[in-house]
Structure 1
Amino acid sequence: MASHDSGKIVSRDDEKMVASQPEKIVYGHDGMMVASQEKPGILYDERVGDSNGSESTDEFTWTVEEETAVRRKLDKVIVPLTTFLYLLCFLDRANVGNARIQGMGTDLNLVGVRFNWVTSIFYIIYMFVEVPSNILLKIIGPKYYLPLLVCGFGFVSVCTAFVKTFSGLLTARAFLGIFEGGVMPGLAFFITCFYKREELLLRVGIYVSAASMAGAFGGLLATALARIPPWGVSTMVIHTWRNIFFFEGIITMLAGLGAPFLMPTTPAECWFLNERERRIAFERLVMKNGADENEQVEFHHVTRSIFNINNYICALGFFLINITVQGISLFMPTILKDLGWTATKAQLYTVPPYVCACCVAIAVAFVSDKTNRRGIYLAGFTFLAIAGFSILRWATDPNVRYAGVFLITLGAFPGGPGFLSWAMNNASGPAIRAVSGAYVVTLGTAGGVLATWTYVSKEAPKYPTGHTINLAGQIGVLVLSLAGIAYCKWENRQRNLGKRDHRLNGRSAREIKDLGYRHPEFRYIT
Structure 2
Amino acid sequence: MVSSSYKPVVDQDEDRPDSSGSSSAHVGSNRYTPEGGSDDDELEDLEESEGYELRRLNKSGSKRGSTAGDTTGDDDHDDAEDEDEVPATRRRKASVASFELYTPDEEHRVRRKLDTHLVLFVAMLYMMSFLDRSNIGNAKIAGLVEDLKLDDDQYEWLLTAFYIAYILFEWMTLCYKIFPPHIYISCCVMAWGVLASLQSITSSFGGLLVLRTLLGIGEAAFVGIPFYLSFFFRKDELAFRIGLFISAAPLATSFASSLAWGIVSLGGKTGIASWRLLFLLEGFPACLVAVWAWWWLPDSPASARWLRDRDRKVAILRMRKEDDGVEPSEKASAAQANLPRHKQKFNWRLVLNTLKDPKAYLTAGMFFCCNVAFSSMPVFLPTIVSNMGFSQRASQGLSAPPFLFAFFVVLVTAFLSDRIKSRSIPMIFHATLAMLGYIVLAIAGATHLGHTLRYLAVFPICAGFFSAVTIVITWTVNNQPSDEGKGTGMAMLNIIGQMGPLVGTRLYPDAEAPYYVKGMAVCAVSMAMVAGLALALRLVLKAQNAKSSRVWHVHEPEAEGEALVGSNSKSSGGPFMYLT
TM range (shorter): 0.7 to 0.9
1:199 to 237, 240, 257: 237
Question: For the structure 1 residues 318 and 25, does the alpha-carbon distance in structure 2 shift closer, same or farther, using more than 3 Å as the test?
Answer: farther
Larger C-alpha radius of gyration, 1 or 2?
Answer: 2
Question: For the structure 1 residues 247 and 500, does the alpha-carbon distance in structure 2 shift closer, same or farther, using more than 3 Å as the test?
Answer: farther
- Residues 446-485 of structure 1: CA deviation (Å, up to 9, x unaligned): 2233334344555443334543332221111111111111
Alignment of 1:20-31 (within 5 A): none
Residue in 2 aligned with 1:522? 576
Residue in 2 aligned with 1:86? 126
Residue in 2 aligned with 1:160? 199
CA contact (8 A) 1:161 1:238 kept: no
Alignment of 1:50-199 (within 5 A): 50-54=64-68, 61-108=101-148, 111-131=151-171, 133-185=172-224, 187-199=225-237
Give distance in 1, aligned partners of 2:143 and 2:23.
69
Unaligned runs of 5+ in 2: 1-5, 15-21, 33-62, 69-94, 325-330, 332-336, 556-572
1:482 to 532, 535, 539: 535
Task: Answer yes or no: is 1:282 the counterpart of 2:325.
Answer: no
CA contact (8 A) 2:193 2:287 kept: yes
Give the letter aligned to residue 524 of structure 1. Answer: Y
Give the letter aligned to residue 425 of structure 2. Answer: I
Residue in 2 aligned with 1:321? 370
Task: Answer yes or no: is 1:308 the counterpart of 2:348.
Answer: no
CA contact (8 A) 2:375 2:504 kept: yes
Question: For the structure 1 residues 288 and 225, does the alpha-carbon distance in structure 2 shift closer, same or farther, using more than 3 Å as the test?
Answer: same
Give distance in 2, aligned partners of 1:124 and 1:33.
45
1:442 to 479, 495, 503: 495
Residue in 2 aligned with 1:252? 286
Question: For the structure 1 residues 421 and 403, does the alpha-carbon distance in structure 2 shift closer, same or farther, using more than 3 Å as the test?
Answer: same
Give the letter aligned to residue 260 of structure 2. Answer: A
Please state how far the C-alpha of 1:522 moved relative to its aligned partner.
1.8
Give the letter aligned to residue 361 of structure 2. Answer: Y
Question: For the structure 1 residues 331 and 300, does the alpha-carbon distance in structure 2 shift closer, same or farther, using more than 3 Å as the test?
Answer: farther
Residue in 1 aligned with 2:400? 351
Give distance in 2, aligned partners of 1:113 and 1:253.
31
- Residues 132-181 of structure 1: CA deviation (Å, up to 9, x unaligned): x2233322211011111111112222122333444443322211111000
Give distance in 2, aligned partners of 1:68 and 1:435.
31
Residue in 1 aligned with 2:247? 209
Give distance in 1, aligned partners of 2:459 and 2:138.
19
Question: For the structure 1 residues 178 and 340, does the alpha-carbon distance in structure 2 shift closer, same or farther, using more than 3 Å as the test?
Answer: farther
Matched residue SS, 2:498: helix
Question: For the structure 1 residues 51 and 520, does the alpha-carbon distance in structure 2 shift closer, same or farther, using more than 3 Å as the test?
Answer: closer
CA contact (8 A) 1:382 1:411 kept: yes
Please state how far the C-alpha of 1:304 moved relative to its aligned partner.
1.8
Question: For the structure 1 residues 393 and 139, does the alpha-carbon distance in structure 2 shift closer, same or farther, using more than 3 Å as the test?
Answer: same
Alignment of 1:310-459 (within 5 A): 310-328=359-377, 332-333=381-382, 336-337=385-386, 342-395=391-444, 396=448, 397-457=450-510, 459=512
Please state how far the C-alpha of 1:258 moved relative to its aligned partner.
1.7
Bigger Cα displacement from structure 2, 104-113 vs 168-177: 104-113
Give distance in 2, aligned partners of 1:74 and 1:262.
12
Matched residue SS, 1:184: coil
CA contact (8 A) 1:9 1:62 kept: no
Question: For the structure 1 residues 404 and 112, does the alpha-carbon distance in structure 2 shift closer, same or farther, using more than 3 Å as the test?
Answer: farther
Give the letter aligned to residue 287 of structure 1. Answer: K
CA contact (8 A) 1:25 1:521 kept: no
Give the letter aligned to residue 190 of structure 2. Answer: C
- Residues 45-80 of structure 1: CA deviation (Å, up to 9, x unaligned): xxxx95433496579722121111111111111111
Give the letter aligned to residue 358 of structure 1. Answer: F
Give distance in 2, aligned partners of 1:161 and 1:457.
31
Matched residue SS, 2:266: coil
Question: For the structure 1 residues 168 and 202, does the alpha-carbon distance in structure 2 shift closer, same or farther, using more than 3 Å as the test?
Answer: same
Please state how far the C-alpha of 1:242 moved relative to its aligned partner.
3.0
- Residues 225-271 of structure 1: CA deviation (Å, up to 9, x unaligned): 121133677xxx421x3332221001222222221221111101111
Unaligned runs of 5+ in 1: 1-6, 14-19, 27-31, 36-48, 503-518
What TM-score do the two structures reach when normalised by structure 1?
0.81
CA contact (8 A) 1:101 1:343 kept: no
Bigger Cα displacement from structure 2, 102-111 vs 471-480: 102-111
Please state how far the C-alpha of 1:192 moved relative to its aligned partner.
0.5
Matched residue SS, 2:299: coil
1:238 to 239, 261, 273: 273
Give distance in 1, aligned partners of 2:237 and 2:531.
24
CA contact (8 A) 1:150 1:253 kept: yes
Give distance in 2, aligned partners of 1:479 and 1:70.
38
- Residues 92-124 of structure 1: CA deviation (Å, up to 9, x unaligned): 122223333444455455554544433222121
Matched residue SS, 2:129: helix
Please state how far the C-alpha of 1:393 moved relative to its aligned partner.
2.8
Give the letter aligned to residue 220 of structure 2. Answer: G
Question: For the structure 1 residues 34 and 279, does the alpha-carbon distance in structure 2 shift closer, same or farther, using more than 3 Å as the test?
Answer: closer
Give the letter aligned to residue 426 of structure 1. Answer: N
Matched residue SS, 1:525: coil
Matched residue SS, 2:575: coil
Residue in 1 aligned with 2:39? none
Please state how far the C-alpha of 1:334 moved relative to its aligned partner.
6.3
Give distance in 2, aligned partners of 1:323 and 1:525.
26
Matched residue SS, 2:102: strand
Matched residue SS, 1:498: helix
Percent identity between matched residues is 28
Give distance in 2, aligned partners of 1:475 and 1:115.
33
Give distance in 1, aligned partners of 2:104 and 2:399.
44
Question: For the structure 1 residues 86 and 425, does the alpha-carbon distance in structure 2 shift closer, same or farther, using more than 3 Å as the test?
Answer: same
CA contact (8 A) 2:367 2:472 kept: yes
CA contact (8 A) 2:201 2:276 kept: yes
Aligned CA RMSD, in angstroms, stands at 3.5
Matched residue SS, 1:437: helix
Question: For the structure 1 residues 109 and 371, does the alpha-carbon distance in structure 2 shift closer, same or farther, using more than 3 Å as the test?
Answer: farther
Question: For the structure 1 residues 97 and 463, does the alpha-carbon distance in structure 2 shift closer, same or farther, using more than 3 Å as the test?
Answer: farther
Give the letter aligned to residue 188 of structure 2. Answer: L
Question: For the structure 1 residues 33 and 70, does the alpha-carbon distance in structure 2 shift closer, same or farther, using more than 3 Å as the test?
Answer: closer
Give the letter aligned to residue 316 of structure 2. Answer: F
**Equivalenced residues, count:** 475
What TM-score do the two structures reach when normalised by structure 2?
0.74
Give distance in 2, aligned partners of 1:21 and 1:304.
37
Please state how far the C-alpha of 1:442 moved relative to its aligned partner.
2.1
